[in-house]
Amino acid sequence: MTRKELFEQIKKKESFLCVGLDTDLSKIPSHLLKEEDPIFAFNKAIIDATADLCVAYKPNIAFYECMGAKGWESLQKTLEYIPKDIFTIADAKRGDIGNTSKMYAQAFFEQMNFDSVTVAPYMGTDSVTPFLEFDNKWVILLALTSNKGGLDFQIQELSNGRKVFEEVLTQSKEWGSSDQLMYVVGATRAESLGEIRQIIPDHFLLVPGVGAQGGDLASVAQYGMNDHCGLLVNSSRGIIYASQEENFAEVARQEAQKLQGEMKGLLETYL
Amino acid sequence: MTRKELFEQIKKKESFLCVGLDTDLSKIPSHLLKEEDPIFAFNKAIIDATADLCVAYKPNIAFYECMGAKGWESLQKTLEYIPKDIFTIADAKRGDIGNTSKMYAQAFFEQMNFDSVTVAPYMGTDSVTPFLEFDNKWVILLALTSNKGGLDFQIQELSNGRKVFEEVLTQSKEWGSSDQLMYVVGATRAESLGEIRQIIPDHFLLVPGVGAQGGDLASVAQYGMNDHCGLLVNSSRGIIYASQEENFAEVARQEAQKLQGEMKGLLETYL
């Protein structure tokens, strides 16, 4: 999917919502456990209930990997079930030396046909560029993450005056265009969005941390939105585990609707 | 495996060799492709040929993940085949927010029973500590990597005077003991081993980059060895792809023997 196509979807659906498919056997409604593939059955119901309200789905790969080969199959089936006009994110946070990153890129872009994959920047340019060699595929690079430990190294100041995450943005924006590179910035770091937009005015940002992690959607839009929206705001637990009863999908839809309604207003205000 | 048990193995085998199982269908001998599981058939032959010469095996997870569910099964079979007195490393370079890192830890320590997993430090303490909550399991944290891009961020100087990788060592050594935490330091960075040993004198280091990547074993031992060896030096391509003929396992053994012979001499010199 191109940046233009993604923006078209955002305008059409009046939404920049990404639904995180962090599907955990111990948290899904118990009546699904009798299904042949409970993980896929849950994801299918969530996708059916939310596909008209969101522009992206983001399975966190850890939740599938911890189930071994079986989890990998559930992930593949889920990916195939997602409508083709919805952007897909493999939240994998990979990154390795060049020939190895190439294997990861093949895993997510060829073996699985995801639109994008999240990548960790610590190993630098040759750990990221192999992911950039695929047409119409995206790297979403970690910049400033939403978790507490995000403050341990990312905001440390370098002797050149930049913080570590600013150095990551400054160097990496030269590795590819804003048509193939996005950045992860946690919603809990909305106060930094202004300075981030100084460095990367055009790039899309994937913003986790709204909801369970406490980030504020209005602040994210106020400081982070650009002229093509430039935001994908993710909610995982707040939507998919809003209810653990038989009507879980309906309640998930209601939570997604609340966020989509708020997003519609923010798009009208800032776009 | 405990640190003491690992050192016992090193003394017994007169080796601190780790063999990297970066097994790639396009590089293994063509006669194996008719096997039901060519990846496992290759790994089995390499393990049979080298198990008495090395103290660790390190499958790089990318090479298995890029084959989907089937790759995951080959990995599981390989892990089960490795003799129990040999240390196993899931070279996965994972790291995510706390509840997600916990899922990765379960994948590698419970689902698969690896002794250790490599972890990326960018997301800080709560992305690493979930891996430290398993008895007799190890985190191997990226510090100073062997690739060219390792120089992009890791050696940048902070305003506190430390380089980024030194800050990673300094902070993270408080997160767990040297009985559960090792560090990745590339053999191509041997000149930094002296300052690294000032910060972490006791920890084991996993040292990739000897062989194909150009690192020098003698320098690594000279600057990096401590009183319990404290080194696991990895070779992947230099051993497993030394020949692509029918006698590949025999030639792999010869390459492993060369390294083990050199290691024996270095252990006698520095231990």
List the 240-269 stretch of B: residues with Cβ below 8 A of A.
Answer: none
Mean pLDDT along residues A145-168: 96
Closest to B265 in 3D by CA, of B215, B233, B218: B218
Of B24, B72, B126, the CB nearest to A69: B72
3-state class (DSSP) for residue A138: strand
Interface confidence, given as ipTM, is 0.95
Of B63, B100, B142, the CB nearest to A103: B63
B213: pLDDT strictly greater than 80: no
Catalytic (active site) residue B84: no
B231-235/A138-144 β-pairing: unpaired
What are the chain A neighbours of B120 within 8 Å (beta carbons)? 93, 95, 120, 122-123
Q: Band the pLDDT of B211: cuts 50, 70, 90.
A: confident
A212: pLDDT strictly greater than 70: no
**Which superfamily, per CATH, for A3-270?**
Aldolase class I (3.20.20.70)
Structure tokens at A207: 């913003």
Amino acid identity of residue A184, one-letter, is V
B212: pLDDT strictly greater than 70: no
Give tens-digit pLDDT for A223-246: 999 999 999 999 999 999 999 999
d(CA A220, CA A209): 11
Asked if B127's CB is within 8 angstroms of A68's CB, the reply is: no
**Are residues B183 and A122 in contact, defined by beta-carbon separation less than 8 angstroms?**
no
Q: Band the pLDDT of A69: cuts 50, 70, 90.
A: confident
d(CA B146, CA B37): 32
Percentage, residues of chain A above pLDDT 70: 99
Q: What share of chain A is helix, strand, coil (3-state, %, to 5)?
A: 50, 15, 35
Closest to A214 in 3D by CA, of A195, A237, A194, A192: A237
* DSSP character at residue A191: G
Which residue of B21, B61, B65, B171 to mutate against A (max A Cβ within 10 Å)?
B65
E strands of chain A, at which residues? 17-20, 56-58, 87-94, 116-119, 138-144, 181-185, 205-207, 231-235
Q: What is the pLDDT of residue B207?
A: 97
In the numeric block, the tokens 């653990």 are attached to A244
Give tens-digit pLDDT for B14-31: 999 999 999 999 999 999
C-alpha A64, offset from chain centre: 16
Asked if B94's CB is within 8 angstroms of A149's CB, the reply is: no
Which residue of A103, A139, A144 to mutate against B (max B Cβ within 10 Å)?
A103
Asked if A159's CB is within 8 angstroms of B157's CB, the reply is: yes
Three-class DSSP labels, chain B? CCHHHHHHHHHHHCCCEEEECCCCCCCCCHHHHHCCCHHHHHHHHHHHHHCCCCCEEECECHHHHCCHHHHHHHHHHHHHHCCCCCEEEEEEEECCCHHHHHHHHHHHHHHCCCCEEEECCCCCHHHHHHHHHCCCCEEEEEEECCCCCHHHHCCCEECCCCEHHHHHHHHHCCCCCCCCEEEEECHHHHHHHHHHHHHCCCCCEEECCECCCCECHHHHHHHHCECCECEEEEECHHHHCCCCCCCHHHHHHHHHHHHHHHHHHHHHHHC
Mean pLDDT along residues A169-189: 96
Mean pLDDT along residues B116-127: 98
CB within 8 Å of A116: residues ≥ 6 apart:
A87, A88, A89, A90, A137, A138, A139, A140, A182
Closest to B86 in 3D by CA, of B271, B256, B244, B223: B256
Q: What is the pLDDT of residue A215?
A: 77
Assess B159–A contact: CB distance below 8 Å, yes or no: yes
Taking every pair of C-alpha atoms in chain B, what is the biggest distance, in angstroms? 58
Asked if A157's CB is within 8 angstroms of B167's CB, the reply is: no
* DSSP character at residue A83: -
Q: What is the pLDDT of residue B68?
A: 87
Give tens-digit pLDDT for B168-188: 999 999 999 999 999 999 998
Counted across chains A and B, CB pairs separated by less than 8 A come out at: 185
Q: Band the pLDDT of A71: cuts 50, 70, 90.
A: very high
**Lowest mean pLDDT, pick from A179-188, A207-216, B56-65:** A207-216
List the 57-86 stretch of A: residues with Cβ below 8 A of B.
Answer: 60, 62-63, 65-70, 72-73, 76
